[in-house]
Each structure stands twice: as structure tokens, then as C-alpha cells.
Amino acid sequence: MDSAEIHQIVILGSGNVATRLSIALQLAGLEIMQIFGRNVRDAKILAERLGVKHTDDLKAVIPSADLYLLCLSDDALTDVIGSFPFKNKLLVHTSGTISMDVFQNIQNNYGIFYPLQTLSKNKEIKFEGIPICIEANSKTNEAKLVRLAEKISNNIHLINSDQRKILHVAAVFASNFTNYFYSVSKEILESNQLSFDLLKPLIIETVEKALSQNPDETQTGPARRGDKKIISAHLEYLNSQSEFKEMYELISKHITHKYSKQ
Amino acid sequence: MDSAEIHQIVILGSGNVATRLSIALQLAGLEIMQIFGRNVRDAKILAERLGVKHTDDLKAVIPSADLYLLCLSDDALTDVIGSFPFKNKLLVHTSGTISMDVFQNIQNNYGIFYPLQTLSKNKEIKFEGIPICIEANSKTNEAKLVRLAEKISNNIHLINSDQRKILHVAAVFASNFTNYFYSVSKEILESNQLSFDLLKPLIIETVEKALSQNPDETQTGPARRGDKKIISAHLEYLNSQSEFKEMYELISKHITHKYSKQ
């Protein structure tokens, strides 16, 4: 067996990231040896889905894997790293926010394997184009993780812990906040007996334009044009939904400011 | 000639909406007779693209068309309607915000033909699935506009002026504000020598999920989970970009509030 290659993997976690990553890795020919999960029911469900063993006892984790992949919430992560029974195995987490320092003085071989994507247990996804951000404590471990990532994606990046945090902040704006605005628009429509479906072609076209061109240039709307009359009319309409009004006002202010400088 | 059918159209305007609508209508077999535009250079460019005549003189507008389609900015719209030389022709505007009342006591046949989409002069677009919102001063004119809309789209809605304004507010959240957040995330990344391309797979997946499921249910991220630790870390990171910090704080507050009620 090539010692520089990862073949056998134990997955620690049973949530969205654990599910999608373990399925993708298994499909790519890696051997998932075991699922560890503190919630034994969820661990069992994922293990059965993969046809492998599971445990909720950290001491019962199989010691012979090439990689221990921690797909845990940030809080659980620190606990599990602190109680992990082996010191020399390759231990890697998948979090966007936790610095690699979390392993320091506890483990000898460690790193990050962060897929920059929103993942759901029950929504299939192709990993091919998903950016996988790699960091490791040594060049040897980095090379191992890059080779592993290449088995599921063609979009691999060496990203350090500081850059990873910046990526995560940017992702909150580009994904979480935009998704929230879809739900705001849905609520505005439905509280007036209009269907959210009406906006779907607009939403798709907006994204296609922003990504194929440049969102700075594809910006449209009353704030972009500095159309104070329409902004006032919209704010007046939103009087009864003060949370939405507050956001409309702030974001219009910033868009107006940005484009008035040009 | 069937008097209830629109065959010949004069387009008033030469911007994004005028360009895309006139091209779509001509492709659908309608006759675009003339382009009127106060900016004669732009009117000429569009007229040449369509192979038709143009004018910048409202008095020179051809009097024999079945429809005069006003694709003008909200400010220009009121001026042109006030100076329009005919009283009995079918005069229709394409604005999301201007009420149908703008025609009252000035024209005898009027309505709205509002395509709910972001349109650009130089980006081709299929009208097929685009919602076209119709309103008219009589059942006869409404029927004419519906039949016209059916020639370019299969997504026609009778929407009154109040509903149209609501649609427009919702569209600002779902399109203009989300696009702005893409440019915010781009700026955050690029000011740290990271490429916006890294976020593209995430952006696409977020939209696909929100539209195929329901944005209320596909919401993820630190605010959705009520993860105060990560929110604080992100806010601290954004200290040097106070505009972004202000938005991050407000929107996280609203998302946290929304999901803490559940």
C-alpha cells in the first residue's frame, strides 16, 4: 500500500457534511470504514446508507484508518478533538471557521478539508466543481489531502485559516443573506395573495447575469439609478413591515452611495 | 384585419426594455412600424437593429399603429403621455411602478404590459417563461394585450396597479439586493486576494435549492443556527469595512429573530 495515499477513512459526524462527503468519497472508490456519531440514531442511519459500521463511543473508533474526517459542528469539534484517542493519525476537520490551531499541541498530523458549498442530507449534489479548500500541518499531509480531494473535485485550493474565515464571511453574504431575501420577497408577495413563482425567472436571470458578467456591472434597480421617488414609495409601502423597511432603507443607502461615486 | 388583434406596433423608447421587447415582438411576427426616442442616436441604433424607421419628434409618430408601447423611464413616461398626439389609440406602458391612473382623463384606450424581468440591450433573453403582467382600462383592451403577450410568453397574469407595485418591491429584494450582496462578497474576497469564482458553485446551489424547495426551509448559516460566536467573529473581521458590518449585523439580527420564533 502506498503510504502517501489515503484509502481508508473514518467519518466523525452524521449531519449534512458527513452525509454528502462520505457518499461522494465512497462513490469515488475510497473505503469508508466506520461512522462515529454522538447521536447514535443519526450515525446508524448514515452508516446503513453506506453499508458500514457505526459507533457512538470515541474509544471504539477503528484505529487503522488513513484519515479521520471530522464533519462536526464547531462546538462538537473542539470536544471530539480533545478526547480523540490517537495522537499520530491524520485528523482533519471540514469547518469554514475553526482555525487549524485547534489541533496544535494535541495532534501530530492534521489539516483542513473544507468543501465550500451548502450541503443537505437529502439533496444529491455533484462534488466535481465544488471548491475544496485544503490546509495541513506538513507538506506530506497537504499532498495526501490534495490527492484525496482530486478524487471528487477538479476545483482544489490551498487556503490558509485566515483566508478560510474571509471566504466564510463572503459566503454568508452571497448565500445565507441572499437566501433570506428570497424569503422576504416571498413573504411580501404571499401577504398580498401573489405567488413567489412570479419572481423565479427574474431570480434565475439575475444570478446568471451576475456570474457570467460581474455583479458590479449588472446592478439595476431604483437605488442603482438613484431614483429617490421610487425608493420613497417603496419605503412607504413597507411601513407595515418595519423589519423589511429597515433593511430596504439601509441597503438602498449603500447601493446609492456606491454608484453615486462613479 | 381582425380589429381585436394587435398587428402593428410603434415602440416609444430605445433603452433596455424597448430593445428586448421590440426584438421579441418582431421575432414573434408582429410588425414594429417605428421607434420613437428622445435620444435620436439611441433611437436610430435600435431602429437599424430592427430594420425600421425612427423619429425623435412625437408629432411625427405614425398614426396608424394598433398599439403604442411606451418603454420609457418613469419620469419620461409622464411627459410623453402628456404630449402624445392621439387620444383614441391604444397606449400602454411597461413600468413596474407607475399606476394605470397616469392615463386617466388623457387617453381613451390604455393599459399596462409589464414584463417582470431584468432586461439588457445586449443580453439575449427568451421571453417564453417571463411573467407578463397585464392591466387595461376595458375588457376589450385587456383581451388584446393578453393575446399579444401570449405571442411571446406562456406566463401571463392579470395584475392590477397595486399588485404591480408590491411585485416591484419584492423584486427589489429578490434581484437588486441579492445582486448587491454578490458584489459585497466579491469585494470582501478580492480585497484579500481571493477570487469571486470560489463562491460561484455555492451561489448557484443556493438559488437552485431556494427555488426548487422553499427559501424559508433552505436557510442556513450562523444566524439561522443562532451561532453568536461565529457572528461575533465575522463582525469583528468586518470592523475595517463598516458599511458591510452594519448590513451583516442588521440582517443577522432579523434572521436570528425569524428562526428563534420557531
Nearest-neighbour CA in chain B from A63: distance (Å): 33
- Is residue B18 pLDDT above 90, yes or no? yes
Q: Count of CB contacts below 8 A, A vs B?
A: 271
Are A216 and B181 an interchain contact pair (Cβ–Cβ within 8 Å)?
Answer: no
d(CA B70, CA B18) in angstroms, rounded, equals 8
Confidence at B3, pLDDT banded by 50, 70, 90:
low
Residue from B121, B166, B179 whose CB has the most chain A CBs within 10 Å, to mutate: B179
Are A216 and B170 an interchain contact pair (Cβ–Cβ within 8 Å)?
Answer: no
- Is residue B66 pLDDT above 70, yes or no? yes
CB-nearest partner of B215 from A183, A198, A214 = A183
- In angstroms, the Cα distances linking B21 to A80, A122, B109 are 60, 41, 21
Cell output for A44:
446508524
Nearest-neighbour CA in chain B from A183: distance (Å): 5
- In angstroms, the Cα distances linking A67 to A12, A25, A33, A109, B254 are 10, 12, 10, 10, 40
Nearest-neighbour CA in chain B from A203: distance (Å): 6
Model confidence over B190-227: pLDDT tens digits? Answer: 999 999 999 999 999 999 999 999 999 999 999 998 98
Per-residue confidence (pLDDT) for residue B254, from 0 to 100 = 96
Are A207 and B209 an interchain contact pair (Cβ–Cβ within 8 Å)?
Answer: no
Other C-beta atoms lying within 10 Å of the C-beta of residue A20: 23
- Is residue A16 pLDDT above 80, yes or no? yes
Residue from B207, B218, B253 whose CB has the most chain A CBs within 10 Å, to mutate: B207
Confidence at A122, pLDDT banded by 50, 70, 90:
confident
Residues 6 or more apart whose Cβ sits within 8 Å of residue B258: none
Model confidence over A156-189: pLDDT tens digits? Answer: 999 999 999 999 999 999 999 999 999 999 999 9
- Is residue B2 pLDDT above 80, yes or no? no
Rg (Cα) of chain A, in Å, rounded?
Answer: 23
Q: Which residue of A has its CA nearest to B230?
A: A97
Per-residue confidence (pLDDT) for residue B122, from 0 to 100 = 86
d(CA B27, CA B125) in angstroms, rounded, equals 12
| Closest alpha carbon to A237 in A203, A194, A204, A189 | A189
Model confidence over A25-34: pLDDT tens digits? Answer: 999 999 999 9
pLDDT above 70 covers a percentage of chain B that reads 98
Chain A residues with CB under 8 Å of B15 CB are none
Q: Is the distance from CB of B12 to CB of B36 less than 8 angstroms? A: yes
Per-residue confidence (pLDDT) for residue B197, from 0 to 100 = 97
- Is residue A1 pLDDT above 50, yes or no? no
Chain A residues with CB under 8 Å of B215 CB are 179-180, 182-183, 186
Fold of the domain built from segment(s) A165-260: N-(1-d-carboxylethyl)-l-norvaline Dehydrogenase; domain 2 (1.10.1040)
Model confidence over A49-62: pLDDT tens digits? Answer: 999 999 999 999 99
- Is residue B181 pLDDT above 50, yes or no? yes
Are B201 and A116 an interchain contact pair (Cβ–Cβ within 8 Å)?
Answer: yes
Chain B residues with CB under 8 Å of A238 CB are 169
Pick from B18-22, B59-63, B112-116, B228-232: least confident? B228-232
Q: Which residue of A has its CA nearest to B243?
A: A254
Per-residue confidence (pLDDT) for residue A3, from 0 to 100 = 55
Mean pLDDT over each residue of chain B, to the nearest integer: 95
> What is this model's ipTM?
0.93
Residue from B16, B134, B202, B231 whose CB has the most chain A CBs within 10 Å, to mutate: B202
Domain boundaries, chain A: 8-159, 165-260
Chain B residues with CB under 8 Å of A95 CB are none
Mean pLDDT over each residue of chain A, to the nearest integer: 95
Pick from A67-71, B1-5, B98-102, B166-170: least confident? B1-5
Q: Which residue of B has its CA nearest to A165?
A: B234
Span A62-91, average pLDDT: 95
Model confidence over A69-82: pLDDT tens digits? Answer: 999 988 899 999 99
CB-nearest partner of B201 from A131, A167, A200 = A131
Span A32-46, average pLDDT: 97
Span A208-227, average pLDDT: 94
pLDDT above 90 covers a percentage of chain A that reads 92
Query: Of how many residues is chain A composed?
Result: 262
Chain B residues with CB under 8 Å of A177 CB are 181, 247, 251, 255
Are B172 and A210 an interchain contact pair (Cβ–Cβ within 8 Å)?
Answer: no
Fold of the domain built from segment(s) B8-159: Rossmann fold (3.40.50)
pLDDT above 70 covers a percentage of chain A that reads 98
CB-nearest partner of B179 from A117, A218, A257 = A218
| Closest alpha carbon to B87 in B70, B104, B73 | B104
Are A198 and B247 an interchain contact pair (Cβ–Cβ within 8 Å)?
Answer: no
Per-residue confidence (pLDDT) for residue B262, from 0 to 100 = 64
d(CA A70, CA A86) in angstroms, rounded, equals 14
